[in-house]
């Protein structure tokens, strides 16, 4: 995930992590059709492809990720306003530091809460 974001810098990268809760086992990088360093808009064709693959594998979206090339890994007002999938956790990767900072959030329309996560082999 972090490598995908670094390859696309300084544009925001975006993607989906899928699997069977609680384990992420699927990684879907998505094209950012906004081609912006301040926001992302996932390619609708990629989203359809991911939805079909998840259904075929009997898996689900476990998290959505995107990068902040020029800001901290904290949700922006745009992140809150465009949270169309409600309780699905959002992972934000800040590219300001080396190594990049990765944080996970639960977003509400007017607030956000950081969620714990861990990397397992």
Count Cα atoms within 13 angstroms, Cβ side, for 71: 16
What is the count of structural domains for the chain? 1
Strand order in the sheet with 14-20: 23-30, 14-20, 60-68, 90-94, 101-107, 112-115
Is 76 within the bounds of a domain? yes
Res. 85 pLDDT band, cuts 50 70 90:
confident
Q: Look up 58 and say whether it is catalytic.
A: no
Average pLDDT on 98-120 reads: 91
pLDDT at residue 118 tops 80: yes
Residue 19 scores a pLDDT above 90: yes
Task: Please write the tens of the pLDDT for every residue from 27-80.
Answer: 999 999 988 888 899 999 999 999 999 999 999 999 999 999 989 999 999 899
Average of per-residue pLDDT across 79-101 = 91
Cis peptide bond upstream of 75, omega within 30: no
Confidence of residue 105 (pLDDT cuts 50, 70, 90): very high
Beta strands 101-107 and 90-94: pairing type?
antiparallel
- Say if 120 falls within a structural domain: no
Phi, psi of 22 (to 5 degrees): -100, 10
Question: Looking at the domain assignment, is residue 121 inside a domain?
Answer: no
Is 92 contained in some domain? yes
pTM higher than the cut 0.85: yes
Whether 30 maps to a domain, the answer reads: yes
Looking up residue 91, the CATH number of its domain turns out to be 3.40.140.10
Range of the domain at 30: 2-115
């Amino acid at each position: 995930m972090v490598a995908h974001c670094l390859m696309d810098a300084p544009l925001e990268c975006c993607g989906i992590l899928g699997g069977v809760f609680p384990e992420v086992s699927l990684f879907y990088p998505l094209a950012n059709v906004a081609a912006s360093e301040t926001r992302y808009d996932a390619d609708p064709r990629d989203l359809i492809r991911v939805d079909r693959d998840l259904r075929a594998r009997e898996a689900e979206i476990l998290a959505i990720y995107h990068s902040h090339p020029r800001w901290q890994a904290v949700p922006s007002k745009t992140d809150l306003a465009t949270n169309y999938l409600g309780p699905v956790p959002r992972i934000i990767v800040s590219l300001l530091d080396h190594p990049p900072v990765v944080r996970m959030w639960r977003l509400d329309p007017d607030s956000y809460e950081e969620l714990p996560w861990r990397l397992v082999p």
